[in-house]
């Protein structure tokens, strides 16, 4: 069976579609049209003192509670796709079952294995996102920042703040509309919205 057959036929078609959607998402994110929180619920914690009481228990058990949903779903989708492709090519022809039943079993087993593998693979990334909210909030407010997305709207935007020691902190931001903020624009961080977990920014106007 060729690679093209694997990705265009059941069961490999389903994870291949998901991978395709996620590739489009990451291309749009790199281009600045979307941000990390554009899809899925906000599961990103902010450090050891962050509120995780509302997170799914499975997410906590797997150690993925401090990662953005987009990172988690991308990791699971990649392993799901990879395991499904391998199992379809090597294992499925050996199963004495109808294609629909064997394919379904492969998909389910591959998904379970993918969640476990994603858990082990993504845990090392947690320190990159586990920023203490109180420290980040106090030190970011009042600072200038550079807009990373193509626009900043009432519920969308990312900005980069240069902190002490040359550390660069990426913030999820929003701004009142209309505004002239675009990619590489200079803005100033005004306040933190605890409900939306986003920072209010405004255009920086030098004196």
Provide the residue range defining the domain that includes 15.
3-129
What is the C-alpha separation between 49 and 166, in angstroms, rounded? 25
Query: At 51, is the secondary structure helix, strand, or coil?
Result: coil
**Which runs of consecutive H residues, i.e. helices, occur in the chain?**
3-8, 13-30, 57-61, 69-90, 99-122, 126-129, 133-140
> Pairing relation of β-strands 198-203 and 168-174?
parallel
Work out whether the CA dihedral 56, 17, 156, 191 comes out positive or negative.
positive
Query: Is the domain of 77 the same as that of 112?
Result: yes
Quote the pLDDT of residue 46: 39
Among candidate residues 129, 150, 166, the one where a domain is terminated = 129
Query: Is the domain of 158 the same as that of 189?
Result: yes
Domain of 179: which CATH number? 2.40.50.140
Query: Is the domain of 111 the same as that of 142?
Result: no
Cα-only R_g, the chain: 21
Quote the pLDDT of residue 157: 92
| pTM metric for this prediction | 0.72
Query: At 93, is the secondary structure helix, strand, or coil?
Result: helix
Angle between helices 99-122 and 13-30 (to 10 degrees): 40
Query: In tens digits, what is the pLDDT along the chain, a chain of 207 residues?
Result: 688 999 999 999 999 999 999 999 999 988 888 877 777 665 544 344 344 444 456 666 677 767 888 898 999 999 999 999 999 999 999 989 999 999 999 999 999 999 999 999 998 887 776 555 555 666 788 999 999 999 999 989 999 998 776 778 888 899 999 999 999 999 999 999 888 889 999 999 876
What is the C-alpha separation between 58 and 62, in angstroms, rounded? 6
Among candidate residues 67, 94, 129, the one where a domain is terminated = 129
Do residues 146 and 137 lie in contact, with contact meaning Cβ atoms separated by under 8 Å? no
Query: Is the domain of 91 the same as that of 16?
Result: yes
Among candidate residues 129, 154, 174, the one where a domain is terminated = 129
Query: Is the domain of 85 the same as that of 124?
Result: yes
Query: Is the domain of 28 the same as that of 115?
Result: yes
Query: Is the domain of 30 the same as that of 93?
Result: yes
Do residues 177 and 201 lie in contact, with contact meaning Cβ atoms separated by under 8 Å? no
Please count the other Cβ atoms lying within 10 Å of the Cβ belonging to residue 164. Answer: 6
What is the C-alpha separation between 84 and 91, in angstroms, rounded? 10
What is the C-alpha separation between 57 and 20, in angstroms, rounded? 29
Quote the pLDDT of residue 42: 56
Quote the pLDDT of residue 143: 92
Instruction: Please measure the distance between the N-terminal and C-terminal CA atoms of the chain and give it in whole angstroms.
Output: 67
């Amino acid at each position: 069976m060729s690679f093209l057959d694997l990705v265009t036929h059941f069961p490999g078609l389903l994870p291949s579609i998901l991978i395709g959607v996620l590739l489009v998402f990451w291309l749009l994110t790199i281009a600045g049209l979307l941000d990390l929180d554009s899809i899925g619920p906000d599961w990103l914690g902010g450090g050891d003192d962050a509120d995780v009481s509302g997170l799914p228990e499975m997410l906590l058990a797997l150690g993925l509670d401090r990662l953005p949903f987009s990172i988690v779903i991308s990791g699971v989708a990649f392993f799901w796709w990879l395991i499904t492709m391998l199992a379809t090519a090597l294992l499925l022809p050996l199963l004495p079952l109808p294609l629909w039943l064997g394919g379904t079993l492969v998909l389910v087993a591959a998904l379970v294995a993918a969640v476990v593998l994603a858990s082990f693979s993504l845990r090392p990334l947690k320190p990159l996102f586990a920023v203490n909210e109180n420290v980040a909030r106090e030190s970011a407010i009042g600072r200038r920042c550079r807009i990373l997305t193509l626009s900043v709207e009432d519920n969308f935007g990312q900005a980069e703040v240069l902190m002490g020691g040359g550390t660069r902190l990426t913030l999820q931001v929003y701004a009142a509309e209309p505004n002239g903020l675009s990619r590489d624009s200079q803005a100033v961080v005004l306040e933190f919205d605890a409900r939306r977990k986003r920072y209010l920014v405004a255009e920086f106007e030098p004196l």
